[in-house]
Chain A
Amino acid sequence: MAKAKFDVPELKEEVDVPAIQEGVMAHLAPFVAAKDHQTDLNFPPELVDDWHQKTLEKMDDLRKRYRSFQVFLDSCVKCGSCTDKCHYFLGTADPKNMPVARQDLLRKVYRRYFTFAGKYFPKLVGAKDLTRETLDEWYSYYHQCSQCRRCSVFCPYGIDTAEISMAAREILDSVGYGQKYCNEIIAKVFKIGNNLGLPGPALADTLEGLEDDVFDETGIEVKYPMDQKGAEILLITPSADFFAEPHVDGLIGYGKVFHEAGVSWTLSSYASEAANFGMFIGSYENMRRVSRRIRKAALDLGVKRIVFGECGHAWRVAYSFLNTLAGPFDFLDPDYPVPQHILEFTWDQIQKGNLKLDKSANDDMTLTFHDSCNVARATRMGDRPGGQLEIPRNVIKAVCNNYVDMDKDTIGEKTFCCGGGGGLLTDDLMEIRVKGALPRMTALKNVMEEEGVTHMAAICAICKSQFTKVLPYYGMDMDQIVSVHQLVSNAIVLTGQKPGDDGEEAAAEEAATGEAAPEVEV
């Protein structure tokens, strides 16, 4: 990997709100989608000749279809409440990365063409003509937003910049100016079934390998089934779980929990992806098309329940939108929520006492937890508001002895995005990813120094990938990021598992002597 061509921010005790520096991030834009990436999603292959008219038409269409868009365009009073809340502004100092200024890129055009004041007194209300440069500016700055909704927490009118940035990307796509990363990935889901383009046989191979690994480690045959008709539970998980560290350790954990719970479950090769990048590009139609694959898989396999693996925006689409996009799910067991999060499932099993847990297996770590933005601010787990913040912590505390939270202003509903969400998890946007991680890196560094934290757990494939890549820029180690179900996996003592067959106790002992746990070979 080419090292930084930009300055990595210096970590201090606190993140200072920077003085604005105009235009410092104007150079950054992601690769533009190739023609076939566009057409696969029913978008024009390249910028259309009548982009001016088409842009305004799309804007008009969206404001009539989305109340959020119309109300948010009208309601902002420029109070400035959001100006110091975005991690990308804090990390770059570019004023167009302040949520209100990011919204204004689009609002200026809205005012110019759709409001009385903007039509007749544009200078007075800051309305601007739509030009070719406007589109470039949108393309640049709406791809410096991870749609994390932190700004919406602090806005007195609940204006959510994510809604504006989704609308902007939808407009850009509709005139043929889409982003390569997102659109290429969505096309892969349509054609192959997952973001990574892993075909069914490769998945089957991987799962078989996992079964072997778990057997070697524990002496127990834990199954990782795929396309098994009649299974009770369909597990939908981000495709990163199939191959990358630390994601795959989480998948191993899900399997162990299902095994101990005594339920039959299966993955689907057709719907082998929890992520839904249709949300990032603001395309209801594409998001719906991806979601309906899950409905089809559930029907084809005849399952009774749907459970989602660890993934942030995927859980948003699943929890908040799946019923809307692909429901009604009246063919599933009405005794369980549709869908359920794997953490809801695991926490339920822990409470019922169905899992034998050895917390000391994680004694080599002191954990903290990164609330994924989409989970914290756009979803729920369990019955009560805030369950999405409590349940992950409850599970971690049930499987680990050492846990501390980061600064309260950086977790919970105020959590900072990892810096790579919202369709920015691509190397061509590395600069904004690294700079945007500053607030989280600062909070992590503080608990490392003050509380002796060694690892940070996450429940999102994007967070995990982003941190793995970005931690080294800040002088930390990529292995410090772990999956929550990796911790669960470490602690579970499988029924029938003989002491000595497992690596857990050895690891705990080694940790006590300060040495790394050895790989266990049988």
Chain B
Amino acid sequence: MSLFFALLYIVAALILVVGLARKIIQYARTPAPLKIPTTPAPVTGAGVVMRLFREVVFFESLFKSTKWTWIFGWMFHIGLLLVLLRHLRYFIDPSWIPAWLWLPIELVQPFGVYAGFAMVAGLTGLFLRRIFVDRVRYISSPSDYLWLLLLGFIGFSGLTMKFVARTDVVMVKQFFTGLWTLDWGPLPADLPLIVHLSLVAILMILFPFSKLLHVPGVFFSPTRNQVDNPREKRHVAPWARALDEQEQN
């Protein structure tokens, strides 16, 4: 079984990293021919960094819109972040990275436990909203529900291992830290763990082919990442410059 999961995770990690890299390269290489920031917009690069920071960390635009979606969505995402930080212990040993980098990770560890509940609660809210608000139900595809269920069961199986049927996390840690050198140990044969690891692997594999692309997408969104300075600085895409040159010849 541990061989199966070892191979699964190597493949899943490769698909996730290569898939995401391909999308990021695609976004970065596609020109944005016109200045289209949603205004009022920052007029400096530093301002744009702040705008993206508020968007990514606080979900500023969603906050302006619908408080319920914001609460559930933010709870889920911030919960997920803390949970992921807590999970770092299973993949890297503190001795591998500088102490100043480990310290903040160390500090959030206690919150990581409760964050699991916030995550599941947020997902539940989002799921109910998708079912009961007619407008959101109308725009939902099966995959939209399935993502919430997938994430929900990941959270639920994880919480089960923490609070109901504890798994031998030391073994799990040995397995995953060993993966880096292709020298993994055995995994505990616990059902919640098997469910948990299988679902996470599915998530990793599907990530680059799904709406989870909103993660890199938000950084490449021209309405959010452009500086509002079209009069001060001429902005021309390569294919548009070709039009100008064509005309001159």
Which residues in B have their C-beta under 8 angstroms from that of A84? 66, 135
A321 touching B230, Cβ below 8 Å? yes
A67-B220, A81-B66, A124-B141 known; A284-B135 Cβ under 8 A:
no
B95 within 8 A of A: no
Which residues in A have their C-beta under 8 angstroms from that of B186? none
Which residue in chain A gives the minimum CB-CB distance to B235? A324
Which residue in chain A gives the minimum CB-CB distance to B134? A20
Cα distance, A66 to B33, chains bound together (Å):
7
Which residues in A have their C-beta under 8 angstroms from that of B104? none
A156 touching B35, Cβ below 8 Å? no
A66 touching B62, Cβ below 8 Å? no
A413 within 8 A of B: yes
A380-B40, A384-B43 known; A154-B64 Cβ under 8 A:
yes
**Cross-interface CB contact of A20 among B61, B135, B211, cutoff 8 Å:** B135
A80 touching B41, Cβ below 8 Å? no
Supplied contacts A74-B211, A82-B65, 17 more A-B pairs, CB within 8 Å: A65-B33, A66-B30, A68-B36, A75-B218, A75-B221, A81-B62, A83-B136, A121-B143, A126-B141, A152-B223, A157-B214, A158-B61, A319-B230, A377-B39, A384-B43, A386-B40, A413-B40
A98 touching B135, Cβ below 8 Å? yes
B89 within 8 A of A: no
Q: Among A158, A339, A377, A413, which residue has the most Cβ atoms of chain B within 10 A?
A: A158
Query: Can you list 16 residue pairs at the A/B interface with Cβ under 8 Å?
Result: A20-B138, A63-B30, A64-B30, A71-B222, A72-B221, A77-B144, A79-B62, A80-B66, A80-B129, A157-B221, A158-B38, A158-B221, A323-B230, A385-B42, A388-B39, A413-B38
Which residues in A have their C-beta under 8 angstroms from that of B140? 78
Which residues in B have their C-beta under 8 angstroms from that of A66? 30-33
**Cross-interface CB contact of A117 among B210, B223, B236, cutoff 8 Å:** B210
A19-B134, A95-B138, A319-B231 known; A74-B40 Cβ under 8 A:
no
Which residue in chain B gives the minimum CB-CB distance to A99? B139
A385 touching B41, Cβ below 8 Å? yes
A123 touching B64, Cβ below 8 Å? no
A209 within 8 A of B: no
A149-B38, A284-B240 known; A156-B61 Cβ under 8 A:
yes
List CB contacts (< 8 Å) of B25-67 with chain A.
26-27, 30-36, 38-43, 47, 55, 59, 61-62, 64-66
Which residues in B have their C-beta under 8 angstroms from that of A80? 66, 69, 129-130, 133, 135-136, 139
Q: Encode contact with A along B56-89: 1 for CB under 8 Å, 0 otherwise.
A: 0001011011100100010000000000000000
Which residues in B have their C-beta under 8 angstroms from that of A376? 39
Cα distance, A153 to B60, chains bound together (Å):
10
Which residue in chain A gives the minimum CB-CB distance to B65? A154
A397 within 8 A of B: no
Secondary structure call for the B interface: helix
For the complex of A and B, list the 4 residue pairs with the smallest distance between their C-beta atoms, beginning with the closest. Answer: A75-B217, A126-B141, A158-B223, A154-B65
**Cross-interface CB contact of B32 among A68, A152, A320, A338, cutoff 8 Å:** A68
B163 within 8 A of A: no
CB of B140, distance to nearest CB on chain A (Å): 6
A170 within 8 A of B: no
Which residues in A have their C-beta under 8 angstroms from that of B43? 380, 383-385
Which residue in chain B gives the minimum CB-CB distance to A116? B209
CB of A312, distance to nearest CB on chain B (Å): 13
CB of A95, distance to nearest CB on chain B (Å): 5
B138 touching A115, Cβ below 8 Å? no
Interface residues of A toward B: which range? 35 or more
A35 within 8 A of B: no
CB of A517, distance to nearest CB on chain B (Å): 37
A85-B65, A321-B230 known; A71-B138 Cβ under 8 A:
no
A288 touching B243, Cβ below 8 Å? yes
Which residue in chain A gives the minimum CB-CB distance to B23? A74
**Cross-interface CB contact of A380 among B32, B34, B220, B228, cutoff 8 Å:** B228
Which residue in chain B gives the minimum CB-CB distance to A388? B39
A71-B27, A157-B214 known; A323-B235 Cβ under 8 A:
yes
Q: Encode contact with B along A135-165: 1 for CB under 8 Å, 0 otherwise.
A: 0000000000000010011111111100100
B222 touching A389, Cβ below 8 Å? no
Which residues in B have their C-beta under 8 angstroms from that of A104? 139
B173 within 8 A of A: no
CB of A305, distance to nearest CB on chain B (Å): 12
A379 within 8 A of B: yes
Which residues in B have their C-beta under 8 angstroms from that of A319? 230-231
List CB contacts (< 8 Å) of A83-142 with chain B.
83-85, 95, 98, 100-101, 104, 115-117, 121, 123-126
CB of B221, distance to nearest CB on chain A (Å): 4
Which residues in B have their C-beta under 8 angstroms from that of A121? 143
Which residue in chain B gives the minimum CB-CB distance to A118? B209
B224 within 8 A of A: yes
Which residues in A have their C-beta under 8 angstroms from that of B236? 324
**Cross-interface CB contact of B61 among A63, A126, A155, cutoff 8 Å:** A155
A68-B223, A80-B133, A323-B230 known; A163-B36 Cβ under 8 A:
yes
